[in-house]
């Protein structure tokens, strides 16, 4: 049974994340997409909102579940009984960050393996922060996120 966790901030989930989830679900028997609480980021959406957006857009994928965690990923992985982390890679700067994360996680839990899926070309520039910036300026983001996510993003900025 190959089980992996795909952790991330997902604030909000984009077509880039969804592409990694779909492709990851074909590699692993079970994939847990887990919204993490990153103390260095100040998310726009609550954990529940982010989980709901992921669930709504992965309904057709049988071997996916959506969860959340706080604290160290490696501790959470012990609870889940998995030693595989799935992450996506876009740019060289992603590589730098992911390389450090992967090695740190390996020190924290020696049997951890991080598996990377290279972004699809059409999503290689997609990034949640830029999407939020575009919505705040009234830009059209329909090609970057599913329609329910687009609506929720617009509501967030209307309420501000
Ligand atoms: P984190 O704060 O943990 O980096 P993100 O939601 O920003 O959370 O990203 C989660 C993972 O998804 C990271 O591995 C990131 O590189 C990957 N990712 C984000 N956007 C894309 C994309 N467009 N294509 C491929 N991977 C992506």
47-75 residue pLDDT tens: 999 999 999 999 999 999 999 999 999 99
- Is any atom of ligand 1 closer than 6 Å to the C-beta of 33? no
pLDDT-based confidence at residue 154 (cuts at 50, 70, 90): very high
Please enumerate in sequence order all residues whose Cβ is within 8 A of that of 116, keeping only pairs 6 or more positions apart, or say none.
86, 87, 88, 89, 98
The mean pLDDT of the chain is 95
- Is any atom of ligand 1 closer than 6 Å to the C-beta of 123? yes
Atom of ligand 1 nearest to the CA of 94: 16
pTM assigned to the model: 0.96
CA atoms of 71 and 73, how far apart (whole Å): 6
**From 37, 41, 78, 151, the catalytic residue:** 41
The dihedral built from the CA positions of residue 104, 120, 33 and 115, taken in this order, carries a sign that is negative
pLDDT-based confidence at residue 41 (cuts at 50, 70, 90): confident
Is 93 noted as a catalytic residue in this protein?
no
- Dihedral of CA atoms 128, 95, 31, 58 in degrees, nearest 10, equals 30
């Amino acid at each position: 049974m190959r089980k992996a966790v795909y952790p991330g901030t997902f604030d909000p989930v984009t077509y880039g994340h969804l592409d990694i989830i779909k492709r990851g679900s074909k590699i692993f028997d079970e994939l847990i997409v887990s919204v993490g609480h990153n103390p260095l980021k100040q998310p726009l959406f609550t954990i529940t909102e982010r989980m709901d957006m992921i669930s709504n857009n992965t309904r057709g994928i049988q071997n996916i579940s959506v969860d959340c965690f706080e604290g160290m990923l490696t501790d959470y992985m012990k609870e889940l009984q998995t030693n595989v982390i799935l992450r996506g890679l876009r740019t060289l700067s992603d590589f730098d960050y992911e390389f450090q994360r992967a090695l740190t996680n390996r020190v924290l839990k020696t049997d951890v393996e991080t598996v990377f899926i290279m972004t699809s070309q059409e999503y290689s520039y997609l990034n949640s922060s830029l999407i939020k910036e575009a919505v705040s300026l009234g830009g059209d983001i329909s090609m970057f996120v599913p329609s329910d996510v687009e609506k929720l993003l617009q509501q967030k900025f209307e309420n501000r």
